[in-house]
Structure 1
Amino acid sequence: MNGRFLLFALIGAIAFAVDAAAYLLLGSWFNQPPLQKALGFFGGVSTTYLLNSFITFRTPLALSRYGLYVLSQSAGMLVNLTSFLVFLRLVPVLAALVLATLAGLGFNFFAAKRVLRRPSPPG
């Protein structure tokens, strides 16, 4: 298996911890699960952007690249959800969760690789 893919997956696990911690911390201040989840997601995506830029793909940070990265990873979230709904009709719930996670992970890796390896715009 590709070393970059393994780093990407490990960084994704770190981002999950950031997302979950943000969700729980915000829940102690107010009870708005959709807002808590959205803010946690952005915390997790920002974490993966920083860590994958520095460690996995060794790419300099750029605000324009960050925006594309957030969009690409949001699309990956939709791949995960859509895959889950499809797999749920075919296999037991736990298998559907695993398969959807793998589909989202694969999509997100290739999307991140494409976004983070593109040259920064001038300026």
Structure 2
Amino acid sequence: MKNTLRIVFLYLFLATLTVSCQEDAPAPACLKVEVIGEDCETGWYILKIESSEESGQRNNYLGQLQNGYVTTDNLPAEYKQPGRKINAALELNGAYGPRCVAINVMYPSVKVTRVCQTFSIQD
């Protein structure tokens, strides 16, 4: 009985090790986003993600974010002007978000993982 139990635990350990060593999911492609302005809490900014069809991302892996509004607290300082458009890779940040006292809409919080390209404000 002990040998069988040891074999089962060894199998479970190897299965866990194998799963953890597999390749990670593909990284999200860069999305075209526009900085809308500050959110309800200082340091948080609202971003508008353009539709994937409009930004030419139709066949690329986009992750869970397709289009709409999101909020972030790690937007680099040079991109914090309202109306600024950038290409950036975003990932959902479920750990924390802005603390708003009274607000009508709460946007999903994201992390900017990298900035791929910038555009002028007129684009």
What TM-score do the two structures reach when normalised by structure 1? 0.24
Structure whose residues are more often helix by fraction: 1
Q: TM-score, normalised by structure 2?
A: 0.24
Structure (1 or 2) with the greater strand fraction: 2
Q: Which has the larger radius of gyration?
A: 2
